[in-house]
Structure 1
Amino acid sequence: MGNTDKFEMIANIYDTPERIQIAKVSSDVIREYLVDANSKNAIDFGCGTGLVGINLLNEFNSMLFLDTSQNMIDQIKQKISDFNIQNADTLCFDFEKEGLSDLHADYIFMAQVLLHIHDAEFVLSRLFDVLNEGGHLLIVDFDKNEKVVSDIVHNGFNQAELSGMMTKIGYRDIQSKTFYTGSKIFMGHDASLFVLDSRK
């Protein structure tokens, strides 16, 4: 996944009050879309230090924290150990480089991850393969923001365009909404976050 080197460097200082706050609102909105999840398994895709996934651990039977940065995975491993978490596992893996045929989940969520992925459609189709039939992919990310100019991340996403791309892949029952607006939360600019729910 894009920008792994950057995340390797900031892993041990990643959990700032701002990031913890955004993770809380992100996990709260994801929780709204969960149905009978306590018997289901989930993947926190691009989990970073696990800020979103840890907030949702009690909602699921089990959770896999997956990221391309080993240092981020080491941070979440430490939390799993510190809090004596029983229903979580970790995996350092890059979906942009290879497929993982034996990985399956009922829920996959990715919070502020898609903007780091160069070929979003490719990774979303890989994740479609990982989902069990009827499973959900939940995306939390920034709305398209013309003020953000970057050659390392997308400047957010147009919800309708993203839904169209996902429909083409095979996702269905797609619904999305903007749920949060914050000051200077996206590369120093005011920005809004959306949530998108989709099913296989």
Structure 2
Amino acid sequence: MGNTDKFEMIANVYDTPERIQTAKVSSDAIREYVVDATSKKAIDFGCGTGLVGMNLANEFHSILFLDTSPNMINQIEQKIADFNIRNADTLCFDFEKEGFSELSADYIFMAQVLLHIDDYEFVLARLFNVLNDGGHLLIVDFNQNENIVSDIVHNGFDQAELADIMMKIGYKTIQSKTFYTGSKIFMGQDASMFVLDAQK
């Protein structure tokens, strides 16, 4: 996945107060779409240090923290041990490079991950295959922001365009909304975030 090298370097200092706060509002937004999930399996895709998934772990029967960065996974494993979380597992894996046929989930969520993925349509199609029938993919990311100019991340997403791409892949019942606006939260710029829920 994109920018793994960068995340490798910052893993042990990643959990800043700002990121913890953003993760809290992101997990609250995701939680609104999680229904009767105590028997369901979840994947925190591109989990980083697990800030979002840790907030949601109690909602599910089991949760898999998946990331391309070994250092990020190490951070998660430490938290799982420290907090004695019994329904969590980890996997260091790159979906852009290889498929993983044994993986399945009822809920997949990805918070501020899509903007780091170069060919995100390809990854969204792979995640569709991982979802069980009726399962949900929940995306939290930035709305498109013309003030962001970067060659390492997308400058956010247009919710309607993203929904169109996902419908072509096969997702249905897609709904999204902007839920948060913050100061200097996206590469030093003021920005807003959306949550999108899509079903298989």
Q: TM-score range by the shorter chain?
A: over 0.9
DSSP 3-state at the match of 2:118: coil
User: Which residue does the alignment assign to 1:6?
Assistant: 6
Residue 130 of structure 1 is matched in structure 2 by 130
Q: For residue 185 of structure 1, what is the aligned residue in structure 2?
A: 185
2:195 — aligned with what? 195
Residue identity over aligned pairs, in percent, reads 81
TM-score, normalization by structure 2: 1.00
Aligned residues: 200
The 5 A counterparts of 1:107-186 are: 107-186=107-186
1:29-40 matches, within 5 Å, as 29-40=29-40
Q: Does 1:54 align with 2:54?
A: yes
Distance in 1 between residues matched to 2:199 and 2:100, nearest whole Å: 20
Structure 2 equivalent of residue 79 of structure 1: 79
Separation of aligned partners in 2, 1:153 and 1:125: 20
5+ residue gaps in structure 2? Answer: none
Give unpaired runs (5+ residues) of structure 1: none
SS at match of 1:125: helix
CA distance in 1, matches of 2:95, 2:55: 24
Q: CA RMSD in A?
A: 0.3
- d(CA) in 2 for partners of 1:190 and 1:70? 31
- Residue 95 of structure 1: aligned partner: 95
Matches of 1:164 and 1:85, distance apart in 2 = 38
Q: Deviations over 1:124-158 (max 9, x none)?
A: 00000000000000000000000000000000000
**Cα distance in structure 1, aligned partners of 2:79 and 2:43:** 17
Q: Which runs of 4+ in 1 moved over 4 A?
A: none
